[in-house]
Chains A and B, each alone.
Chain A
Amino acid sequence: MTRALTDRQGRPVIVVTGMGLVTSLGWGKSQNWSRLIAGHSGVTPITRFPTDGLRTTIAGTIEAAASSTYSAFALSLAIAEAAADEAITQAGIGSPGRFPGPLLIATPPSELEWPQLRKLYEAAAGRDKSGYERLLGAARSGTFSELARHIEFASIADAVQNHFGTTGEPLSICTACASGASTLQMAAERLRRGDAEAALCVGTDATVHPEGLIRFSLLSALSTRNDAPEQASRPFTRSRDGFVIAEGAGALVLETYAHAKARGAAILGVVRGAGEKADSFHRTRSKPDGSAMIGAISKALRDADATPEEIDHVNAHGTSTPENDKMEALSLAAVLGSRLAEVPVTSNKSQLGHTLIAAGAVEAVIAFLTIGNGVIPPTINHNDPDPDLHLDVVANTGRAAQVRTVLSNSFGFGGQNVCLVLAGEP
């Protein structure tokens, strides 16, 4: 059988030839996968900083190398590079330090954290002033230029580009909690247009610090089930009370099918299509009729030329917030119709927590591992299914299943909705 190098619309088929993963469950795909299908949780009590006085004291954090001091920049970069290194090594593409295509990376906010602000505040220069004028006085001394990387938005992309030798101008993308999925969508667009033959997609987020946590806490978005951290994230249950903030990085090497075949690369899967739709209802909530989420799912299916019958698994956004899980179930039902009853749905966030900016990339890697291994990782803590959500949730234990085509959803604050249709090799 000839395997078409173009899709039904005559566009180049986009394949995945390498993947890397770092989460609270471990470093690398192998460790993550065995713990995912075994039903483990990466959510633990926070030890990185004092948590007294906080409503939420748990998270899915990643332990950095013992010698390093935590900062969002340093850890987000370290896990991005680890994931990208794993992906590029698996793909066997290019040569060390020379990746033959652009970098598209989803990065967390670039900002000064409190230890850095305090360091500036305590510096001798500027001490005769107060507030920001004091901070500016210290900055003006020129002795804190190493802090600039924390607030330069191009800095993580820049470091990753230097490390792997990606080409052209890297893109740093923010579509909130859909960012990881956006990197795949925008890379697929570039490869389809013929702008490149390969691309490196990375989503990374390591922002479990006091202010990062407290912001979401004050928006009432986080679970407060601190006594049993591993049971806090419980998507699609009646008792769900919010998401668990978490860290992670996912990386994928995308290529045109023609490019991958020409160099004899093993094909891990296909990015069949992507769809996005913006919401105009509210800064943190979606339209009550679900029309924006529905629009994103529909556009993804249309872009992939896929019918609802072809979808045989949903890797859900499934944050475990009352709002998301209800709206996501409603939207899936609206698009997949009667097919939904036959489609196993799982949320990796039950095990990993919500890796925010990285989630779309992390979950795309897991979706391809699901396709490749024929096992769907469980949605753990699923002991009291929400009776209003009519979903076949893969409850508590993994499920063997022949999975050809996965719908992967990502939804974010600011009305961001991006959905991907991911499949096995043609």
Chain B
Amino acid sequence: MADAVDVWVTGIGLVSSLGEGTEAHWSALSSAGVTVPRIDVDRFPPYCVHPLADGLNVNRLIPSKADQKQMGMWQRQGVHAAGLALEDAGVLGNEPLLDRTELVVAAGNGERDEALDSRILASLAERSADEAGSALNATLMAGLRPTLYLGELSNLLAGNIQIVLKVTGSSRTLKGEEIAGLSAFEDAARRIETGDATMVLVGGSLNAERHDILLGCELGGNLWQQPFVPVWQRAEAGGGFVLGSAAAFVVLEAAPHAEARGAKPYARLAGIGANRARREAKGDIQTSLAGVLESIGFAGSRAPFAMLSGASGVEPATSEELAFLRSIGSERSATGLRAYGTALGHAVEAHFPLGVALACLALHRSAFYPPFESSDIEQPIESVPDSILVTCVGHWRGEGLAIVERVSAAAEGAV
């Protein structure tokens, strides 16, 4: 669209296994030692997870203990990351502005009460089918905590951001695993481009350290069960993801609005799109991604770019994505490919928001990440990319891409 408003990223909030905030993430990921990520192999055998960094203190951004008690961990870390993003954008506590700020969250479910579930299952196992129904009623009536149910609801991460941080322009929650994260950014960006919004807080959060989420993922056969290896190295053993606890939020803002209040951009979101292949035949995912690349106006670009892949490790999605990235990389001036899931784990709905945040950090710092694994797939690069392609291929559904671009480069017409 010729008169589309430029969409800038003016704030970033991150928490993950590597720590809290942009500085911690940049310093961990831009140093060469990250090829050994932080993983926990003891708590959920045979699975490993990337646990949230120790010592996250949410008291500063979520000062009310009553609020904290109403939330599950995914909500606490999510609200905290959202607060960091607002603070980074210089708008934390600016209630008149936040009352006009829109909120778009990508979410699944929050934590169930695992102890209660386990108790009920054990007691039902000893009963006849006839007795089980009324026993279940009695146990749930006595044991279910209403606040915990509110901790599980998909849209209650957004609800808690509204309550704690006062972001109240509007509130939308999108579901559907990884691609929900991209759809959230797409909805936000399109509204800014057309002038329907000026500032949007967008992101997601995942608490990976839960049996209930591991159960859901394992029913689909998605979990990596072997000793940890990087994302690109799992295909031969059938593939799989290693979940990572993380929350990522960014502030997307109309460029004129940011300039008027003196806010500096990390980068601009230059293009974003998604599609959904049926994935019935080999190559469906590659074809779908090629279509998306075309639709977001990047297909004809010859400017050098780097690639931050959100690949999960699940097959065949990961191998098909790699084939697609290699094909465009060889056709054009792609200068480096990184699967950030190797370093941070897979954060499902929050995974694409993480990727956008990492792309912004690299562009802002005028550098790119060293390889997250030692193989011919991820090669060190010398040059500084002006744009980064962030991929979002759902482990079972949805294929999406986004282009994040250096603002100065765009201003100089280097697109």
Contact = CB atoms under 8 A, between A and B. Distances in A.
Interface in B137-156: 137-138, 140-141, 144-146, 149-150, 152-156
Given A174-B173, A174-B174, A182-B172, A52 B149 contact: no
A134 B211 CA distance: 10
Contacts of B141: 53-55, 214, 217-218
Interface stretch (B56-64, B308-316, B369-377, B391-399): B391-399
B218 A136 contact: yes
- Of listed A52, A145, A415, residue having the most chain B CB within 10 A: A415
Bin chain B's interface residue count.
Answer: 35 or more
A173 B172 contact: yes
Contact of B163 (A131, A171, A282): A282
Contacts of B117: 117, 131-132
B175 A278 contact: no
B218 A175 contact: no
B398 A169 contact: yes
A109 B215 contact: no
Contacts of A121: 121, 124-125
A404 to B, nearest CB: 26
B72 to A, nearest CB: 12
A170 interface: yes
Interface of A: 49-55, 107, 109-112, 114, 117-118, 121-122, 130-136, 139-140, 142, 144-145, 147-148, 151-154, 157-158, 161-162, 168-176, 182, 186, 189, 193, 195, 210-211, 214-215, 217-219, 276-284, 292, 412-416
B171 A278 contact: yes
A144 B217 CA distance: 12
B114 A157 contact: no
Nearest to A116: B219
Contacts of B30: none
A278 B169 contact: yes
A40 B136 CA distance: 33
Interface of B: 70, 103, 107-109, 114, 117-118, 120-122, 124-125, 132-134, 136-138, 140-141, 144-146, 149-150, 152-156, 158-160, 162-163, 166-177, 179-180, 183, 187, 190-191, 194, 196, 211-212, 214-216, 218-221, 225, 274-276, 278, 394, 396-400
Given A50-B133, A172-B180, A109 B219 contact: no
Contact of A169 (B107, B167, B168, B183): B183
B225 to A, nearest CB: 7
A161 B276 contact: yes
Given A118-B124, A214-B140, A413-B159, A132 B176 contact: no
A36 B156 CA distance: 33
A154 B171 contact: no
B159 A414 contact: yes
A170 B276 contact: yes
B113 to A, nearest CB: 11
A174 B121 contact: no
A154 B178 CA distance: 10
A215 B149 contact: yes
A50 B134 contact: yes
A162 to B, nearest CB: 7
Contacts of B397: 152, 154, 158
A263 to B, nearest CB: 25
Given A132-B117, A189-B191, A416-B171, A154 B394 contact: yes
Contacts of A118: 121, 124-125, 132
Given A186-B172, A414-B155, 18 more contacts: A53-B141, A54-B137, A121-B124, A130-B122, A132-B117, A153-B175, A154-B177, A169-B179, A172-B175, A172-B176, A174-B154, A174-B175, A210-B137, A218-B146, A276-B170, A280-B162, A280-B168, A415-B168
A147 to B, nearest CB: 5
A142 B220 CA distance: 8
Contacts of B177: 152-154
B121 A151 contact: no
A214 B113 CA distance: 15
B146 A219 contact: yes
B400 to A, nearest CB: 7
B180 A168 contact: no
Contacts of A168: 274-276
Contact of A131 (B70, B108, B114, B176): B114
A211 B153 contact: no
Given A122-B125, A153-B177, A169-B275, A148 B172 contact: no
Contact of A132 (B152, B212, B220): B212
A215 B146 contact: yes
B219 A147 contact: yes
B155 A174 contact: yes
A214 to B, nearest CB: 5
- Of listed B140, B144, B190, B398, residue having the most chain A CB within 10 A: B140
20 contacts: A50-B133, A53-B134, A53-B138, A55-B141, A132-B118, A135-B215, A136-B214, A152-B177, A173-B175, A174-B155, A175-B173, A211-B140, A214-B141, A215-B144, A278-B170, A279-B168, A283-B150, A283-B156, A413-B159, A416-B155
A114 B133 CA distance: 10
B158 A52 contact: no
Contacts of A52: 133-134, 137
- Of listed B196, B215, B219, B275, residue having the most chain A CB within 10 A: B219
B125 to A, nearest CB: 6
A133 B211 contact: yes
A192 to B, nearest CB: 8
Given A153-B108, A170-B276, A174-B155, A110 B175 contact: yes
A412 B215 contact: no
Contact of A154 (B114, B138, B145, B175): B175
Contacts of A147: 219
Nearest to A276: B170
B137 A214 contact: yes
A154 B174 contact: no
Nearest to B122: A130
A203 B221 CA distance: 29
A154 B396 contact: yes
A413 B171 CA distance: 12
A418 to B, nearest CB: 9
A320 to B, nearest CB: 19
Contact of B400 (A158, A169, A211, A283): A169
Contacts of B214: 132, 136
A215 B179 CA distance: 29
A58 to B, nearest CB: 15
Contacts of B163: 280-283, 415
Contacts of B179: 154, 169
B156 A414 contact: yes
B162 A278 contact: yes
A413 B156 contact: yes
A107 B108 CA distance: 12
Nearest to B191: A189
